[in-house]
Structure 1
Amino acid sequence: MKSATPFPLSLAPVAGLSFVCLFLLSGCDTTPRERQEIVRQEARKLDTLADRAGDRIDRASDRAGDYTASARARNRQPLDPAAEATFATELLGTYAAIGQLTPQTIEPAYTQLLRQTRAKRRQWTQRDWDYATSIYRRLNDRLKAVRLDVVGRDELRIRGLQAEFVAMEAGRDIKDLGQAVKE
């Protein structure tokens, strides 16, 4: 079946089509020198747009770099053991003695950690997340020590809770990076 249009439809979405049409239509009514000036003006407009876009990308890149540098500096600062113990008590409650967790109590400890993380994560700073992540890692280390004695269904629940914690932490990092780039 033949197309009713003289041009193939694949050319319709080409960027700058309106400029080409304007140029072709005005080509009969203008001199080559006038057309040359029109092309120069349009090229200047495109250059200006490209410069502005490049400046925005540069600013966003600088802000992302600043965010990364501040995150690295924060990560180099050691966590305060007393504050970490307080945070562990707040997040884990009766399971705060991570080194004493058994195969039967490890899953409830993860459940408690996630319950508290869900409730408090929106008001946490990045430093609070550092403490929570440290506690999460210690819990993971304890899981490695007792894993062979953990019931299969508990281990499956723990894996789901671990995935949720990592997702919440990554979401916060992405949100903070987005805000840093936007500002």
Structure 2
Amino acid sequence: MKKITQVTLILLFSLLTFGVQAQSKSKLEQDLEDLRNWMNRKATEGDSITRAEWPAVKEEFKVRSKNLEQGSNKLTDQSKQEYGELKNRYSQWEAQNEERQGQPLDRETAARWERNLTGTGNIRNLKAGQMRDTYIRFMDSVRAQRTNWSLRDWDYAEHVYLVLNDRRQQVLANMNNSDKIKVAALQVEFNTLRKSRDAKDMYNNMREQR
């Protein structure tokens, strides 16, 4: 009887261990699928990843790949190969972005862009009551000029946008609700236009190839 009990315990322990390993392996395979889908989404965004967003993108890759890196020995050979390919693909993409994002903005050029897009060279001292009209002027300029902008031009436009946002945050408590809502809508529009740049480029490339 005692021997039967021991055998039963050994079997239960083996089944439990197998179940844990299977669950771990299943979780790793799911992590790999999630990483693959994330990489595909980022690939469609391409150069529309902004200077401000780039640090968060790098951190997200680290988080998504952490479990895979630690448990890679539990992956199947096929999954190991795919994970290696995804890491190489990301490394190439990161190098390209680091090269572009690492180029500092010229101070005089940045100041010129501030005046051009907002009508003022004094964004950092704007009053709460001036924010709405300044954002409107900014977005009117972006809509009118963006069709001819290069990636570098978008970097400068984003710089102006971030300076505006910093000043908005400083005076937010003194802005009325109507102005807050209007500015928020214009912020959404700017980000939408920035993200759509790649889609427009792909469309134009397709037309040129016909």
TM range (shorter): 0.5 to 0.7
Give ranges in structure 2 of 5+ residues lacking alignment.
1-84
Q: Secondary structure at the match of 2:104?
A: coil
* Cα distance in structure 1, aligned partners of 2:171 and 2:131: 9
* 1:166 to 2:188 alignment: no
C-alpha RMSD over aligned residues: 3.1
Q: Deviations over 1:8-58 (max 9, x none)?
A: xxxxxxxxxxxxxxxxxxxxxxxxxxxxxxxxxxxxxxxxxxxxxxxxxx9
- The normalised TM-score by structure 1 is 0.58
Give the Cα–Cα distance (whole angstroms) in 2 for the partners of residues 172 and 96 of structure 1.
27
1:23 is matched with which residue? none
The equivalent residue for 2:182 is 157
Structure 1 residues 122, 81: CA separation in 2 closer, same or farther (over 3 Å shift)?
Answer: same
Larger Rg: 1
> Structure 2 matches for 1:1-183, cutoff 5 A?
69-93=95-119, 95-176=120-201
CA contact (8 A) 1:92 1:113 kept: yes
Q: How far off its partner does 1:131 sit? A: 0.3
Q: Which runs of 4+ in 1 moved over 2 A?
A: 64-72, 173-183
* TM-score normalised by L of structure 2: 0.51
Is contact 1:79-1:131 (8 Å) kept? yes
Given residue 82 of structure 1, which amino acid in structure 2 is its aligned partner? E
Relative to its length, the structure with more helix (as a share) is 2
- Offset at 1:96? 2.9
Q: 1:137 deviation in Å?
A: 0.5
Higher alpha-carbon deviation: 167-176 or 106-115: 167-176
Take 2:127 and 2:167, find their aligned partners in 1: how far apart are those partners? Answer: 9
Larger RCO: 1 or 2 (CA < 8 Å, sep 6+):
1
Count, aligned residues: 121
Structure 1 pair 65–113 and aligned structure 2 pair: CA distance change class (3 A)? farther
Structure 1 residue 107, shift from structure 2 partner: 0.8
Q: Describe the SS at the equivalent of 1:79.
A: coil
Q: Percent identity?
A: 31
Residue type at the aligned position of 1:124: W
**Counterpart Cα distance in 2 of 1:138 and 1:177:** 30
Which residue identity does 2:108 align to in structure 1?
Answer: A
